[in-house]
Amino acid sequence: MDRNISKLFRKKFSPRSLGIDLGTANSLVYLEGEGIVLNEPTVVAVSFDDNRVLAVGSEAKKMLGRTPENINASCPLKEGVIANYRITEAMIRYFIRKILGPHFFKPEAMICVPTGATQVERRAVLTAALQAGAKSVYLIDGPLAAALGAQMSIAEASGSMIVDIGGGAVEVAVIALGGVVVHNSLRVGGNKIDEAIMSFLRKNYNLIIGDQTAEEIKIRIGSALFLDKEEKMEIKGRDSFLGLPKSMELTMTDIVKAIKPVLMQIVGAVKDVLEETPPELARDIIDKGIVMSGGTSLLRNLDQLMTQETGVPCFVAPDPMLCVIKGVGIAIENIDLYKGSLTKR
């Protein structure tokens, strides 16, 4: 009987490892033994009066662009790295407590970071997680986690190429023998596409719209290539000259023109990596193709644009928005296999 109680106690109260994907747009958490247990927007609302965190995730996102002067709702990560250390720490603490409860044993945590992150940026992630309640922290490179989550065979000598396009950054990497051989990190992603749409509308139609409207436009009628069938959408905003509410009909052709410069930057980052890839690995990539992950890879026809521009077949991984966190989960469940690719503190 005592043995059964002991087993139950260990199962319920022993600390389990957490995997965290701190994305510019969305943050996801993986709990060892259970899978993905949290998927929230990376938004935090803070009161200026007492510096108190009022809301995190979905509740905070509802406040974007709608807050009074004493409340600020914002994303604490910019271009894939921490922009506001204190708020990021509060957000990680919120995630840990929401999953493990208010009274928890300090867990081990594994957090995904961009390959191009500086040592200062990596240290900021480590310190924020430790201050938030983690016992120890592992860091895993984003492309490696994305490749694991996309079920790519990264341990083989054969080369594989992953392009992870998130809200704030693009991570391009060629992986072989369990490590990154060539990589490139570009701080351009879905948010830059939204900004391009906002800038285009202001410049060409004198219409000012918010971030959430731009994202809705991108999802509904956004495309990387022109289509035979035109699509339209009615949008509402504010006239930049008169300052009054204004509505208009927007076409897909407008959006393709607006976002093309940003997409070509992403294509350029992929070409740079291909140019630096050793010939033997380049041959493998031509045979296997380029795998795309991340939420922005879901933009219509982006894979076709990539194929046209690089000459290499390109396709989107299954569940592209979950590839990174799934990869972090695989690394957690098989920590001994991947210790050589991780940073620990």
Q: Delineate the domains of the chain, giving CATH numbers in brackets.
A: 2-42+77-144+324-344 (3.30.420.40), 159-188+263-320 (3.30.420.40), 190-258 (3.90.640.10)
DSSP β-bridge partners for residue 236: 247
Task: Tabulate helix, strand, coil % of the chain (nearest 5).
Answer: 45, 25, 30
Is residue 24 marked as binding?
Answer: yes
118-126 contacts, C-beta under 8 A, 24 or more apart: 121/81, 121/82, 122/343, 124/81, 124/82, 124/85, 124/88, 125/22, 125/82, 126/343, 126/345
Tokens linked to 10: 């260990």
User: pLDDT digit of tens for each residue in the chain (345 aa)?
Assistant: 444 544 433 444 446 789 999 888 888 999 988 999 999 888 889 888 777 888 888 888 888 878 888 888 888 888 777 888 888 888 888 888 888 877 667 888 999 888 878 888 888 888 888 988 888 899 998 999 999 999 998 888 899 999 999 888 899 999 998 888 999 988 899 999 999 999 999 999 999 999 889 999 999 999 999 988 899 999 999 999 889 999 999 999 999 999 999 999 999 999 999 999 999 999 999 999 999 999 999 999 999 999 999 999 999 999 999 999 999 999 988 887 777 667 666
Is residue 79 marked as binding?
Answer: no
Tokens linked to 82: 């921490």
Is residue 25 marked as binding?
Answer: yes
Is residue 217 marked as binding?
Answer: yes
Is residue 218 marked as binding?
Answer: yes
